[in-house]
Structure 1
């Protein structure tokens, strides 16, 4: 679309792996549609510009201390980032908006969790679109938090975990989103207190999903909000899978390409790929159950064990002496892997996953069935949809002990139920293949998003520079 040329977009992601990756994938999409892109990055989980030569980067120092940056309390971390990013991001915006040597800025796209950017964008007369990096179905539940709290579903009670959630089939209470935090009330307020107001105050909401998997949820969201809703995912789908660094790479760990060479030696559809994201942490006891479950399944496996994944251990110290040697090459363990390339490899037959939304979409795009081991947030919901709605994976219904793990792996890899799941996944993958073709839902939504962004120019172009540099408005820095 030629009318997008000569327009610049500013993108600002929450600096966590699961949020940075889709933001960069969206940046690729919008750059492909003709926009110039400036990505703002914090020093915390700082991005490497050399991996994205087609994008421009601007860096801010949010000033997190070492202890703040290493916290395991995500709710507290997100609260800190909203507090500490406010002033440096304002200064960054002043510089970007007043730089007449670059294209005029059409809008700001920020993560849904960066609530501090709403009043800031308003003060600059800068249109602001929100990015939802998770799915639409889980967003519907987040929106309903006050209702779920009123009905007694939240906070979750052990005695009600297996109870169906009325109005949200097929969810059970155990599937409702939850984050382990020292301040549950702060989590509730972060979701229930700000989500609706933030969305209604924006100029639109972009969601990394597509109609064929979440059409009903997208309808509910459009009914809830008066702003345009764009389901333009999977963001990474239009671009070829490669083994190079890029949006799928970790912000802190190098990808170990040895796993691709190892996969090249394995039979088609034989390998269990196990990886549980960038944040999950488990006990040494649970780690050993996972290890023996993989070993006793008699299937070859590629396992990503991130440093810090095992509580109290640097890496693989908890494994018994000789564990890997005894497998005679049937197992390969790395610290981080090029996940998209791994899932696209013909040797991979299943993904044992934490069910993060990025991983879920990547599996659907590559046609890889899943074994679900959700940990927190929306992962429990994603797992329920994987197993009970789309029927493209299995939950660990037999438990996380080694015997239950073996039963689940074998059910998926060698039994009749596994064949049905693979057929279901094949059908869903075909739908993902079509969504960005002309006439597909994501193709049409992306076209609509581009037109919508270009229509916002009249709001911002006349006033953004004056708002940035005029001391009388109180924003001059």
Structure 2
């Protein structure tokens, strides 16, 4: 699972633990949570999975990663949960399992072991609804596949206006059958085993979508977000760096650098922890920043450019020749930033974002306007709806 998913799967148990419920967190060895960074009272149990290379390679697209993770974690998760059930006393039953909503194998396993399941979705209610509709829209001819004319990409999607065909969930490098197969596995697991869906969203922005989702699934949909605000409050006694977990170490030196700038003067640029662009688009971003004339803070993480080999996995991609000389006085480039603190800083003006749902929520909560550049998955849906909301 991604860092954002693992954070949210431990944020909810932290809140439940504070209300007197016993909580055990089953987690992968890869990107394992650090118990010291979470409130006392949570039990952490690794499932001891063995991940294939495509599950962790920066060259694998997100769909390949998710399919590999589901296959690799199926048996280990099932074994760990069965062992936990056997160790419980009769008066200490497992009330429910909160499972990452992309992990259809884990949802199935929990259901087959007789444990009620809540699926945690870390995308928006709107994006989840559109995702579930992909197979039906494919059959109706609305999904971009080989042979589709380009002009059809700008056609509105019936029942989902203002979305266009180009906004529907897709993954570069994956064909329509692969995407629909994954979505069908998720949908089948939700409908067959899940007692409710938990979403990192809130009624003020998605009341209509939540209502439609509940009706279409015949399941309750619980809006419990924004979860990053719950996480921040539960971590208030810890050091600021502990409130935000990441696969990359944040460069906190960017915060005093921001202190030296006037309010709302700095453009913050980050495409998140997974999104990648090709070399041509990366260079266009770089020269756009260089010629904008505004101060900027740009996150250029390792693996930001598609096609970079494993030998370069730990280093950020090289910048265009001459870029640093032209921008040295105005810009700062970091491998990773403490994003919540950056977005809350008074010096930040707009946020150039890939429109991942977590970044979108964090930006909304801080009142930061967004310049959107979606890359894959649910990001196109979020970007379109963000534009429509901003223009309303």
TM-score relative to the length of structure 2: 0.89
Higher mean displacement: 55-64 or 340-349:
55-64
For the 8 Å contact 2:55–2:66, the answer to whether it is kept is no
Alignment partners' CA distance in 2, 1:48 and 1:165? 44
SS in 2 for 1:198: helix
1:465 corresponds in structure 2 to none
Q: How do residues 239-278 of structure 1 correspond to structure 2 at under 5 angstroms?
A: 239-240=232-233, 244-246=240-242, 248-250=244-246, 252-278=247-273
Alpha-carbon displacement from aligned partner over 1:176-210 (angstroms, at most 9, x marks no partner):
11012445312102113541552353111101111
Q: CA distance change for structure 1 residues 68 and 210 in 2, over 3 Å: closer, same or farther?
A: closer
Give the aligned partner of residue 368 of structure 1: 368
In 1, Cα distance between equivalents of 2:191 and 2:295: 46
When residues 199 and 29 of structure 1 are mapped into structure 2, their CA distance, relative to the original with a 3 A threshold, is farther
Contact 2:47–2:80 (Cα < 8 Å) also in 1: yes
Match of 1:435? none
Cα pair 1:351 1:370 within 8 Å, conserved: yes
Distance 2:291 2:9 in 1: 39
1:290 aligns with 2:290: no
Conservation of the 8 A alpha-carbon contact between 1:301 and 1:331: yes
Distance 1:68 1:116 in 2: 15
- Could you tell me whether the CA contact under 8 Å between 2:28 and 2:47 is conserved in 1? yes
Q: Secondary structure at the match of 2:141?
A: coil
User: Which residue in the other structure is 2:78 paired with?
Assistant: 90
Aligned mates of 2:318, 2:38 — CA distance in 1: 36
The residue matched to 1:79 in structure 2 has which SS?
A: helix
Please tell me the root mean square deviation across aligned C-alpha atoms, in Å.
2.3
Provide the C-alpha distance between the structure 2 equivalents of 1:324 and 1:103, rounded to a whole number of angstroms.
Answer: 60
Once the two structures are superposed, the pairs formed by residues 310-459 of structure 1 within 5 Å of their partners are 310-311=305-306, 312=308, 314-321=315-322, 323-388=323-388, 390-391=389-390
Q: C-alpha displacement at 1:246, in angstroms?
A: 4.1
Offset of residue 165 of structure 1: 1.0
Cα deviation, 1:308-364, whole Å, max 9, x if unaligned, reads 10243632423324x334434311111111111111111111110000001011111
Contact 1:27–1:37 under 8 Å retained in 2: yes
* d(CA) in 2 for partners of 1:27, 1:267: 40
Q: Is the 8 A contact 1:23 1:133 kept in 2?
A: no
Query: Residue in 1 aligned with 2:180?
Result: 188
Are residues 62 and 248 of structure 1, via their aligned partners in 2, closer, same or farther at CA, if it must alter by over 3 Å? same
8 Å CA contact 1:22, 1:358 repeated in 2: no
Find the counterpart in structure 2 of residue 164 from structure 1: 156
Change (3 A) 1:25 1:351: farther
1:137 to 115, 123, 126: 126
Contact preservation (8 Å) 1:273, 1:303? yes
Distance of 1:385 and 1:138 partners within structure 2: 10
Aligned partners of 2:92, 2:39: CA distance in 1, in Å?
18
Change (3 A) 1:144 1:45: same
Which residue in 2 is equivalent to 1:454?
A: none
Task: Please tell me whether the aligned partners of residues 267 and 349 of structure 2 are also in contact (alpha carbons under 8 angstroms).
Answer: yes
Maintained 8 Å contact 1:284/1:318: no
Q: Determine which of 3, 18, 30 is the counterpart of 2:16.
A: 30
Cα separation, 2, equivalents of 1:191 and 1:67 = 19
Unpaired runs of at least 5, structure 2 = none
- Taking the aligned partners of 2:270 and 2:161, their CA distance within structure 1 comes to 28
Q: CA deviation at 1:279?
A: 1.2
Decide which structure has the larger Cα Rg and report it: 1
2:44 matched to 1:57?
yes
Other-structure match for 1:122: 111
Q: CA deviation at 1:154?
A: 1.1
- 8 Å contact kept, 2:197–2:222: yes
Contact 1:25–1:247 at 8 Å: present in 2 too?
A: no
What is the number of residues matched between the two proteins?
376
Contact 2:52 2:68 in 1 (8 A): no
Q: Pick closer, same or farther for the CA change 1:193–1:98 going to 2, 3 Å.
A: closer
The answer on whether the counterparts of 1:277 and 1:354 sit within 8 Å (CA) in structure 2 is: yes
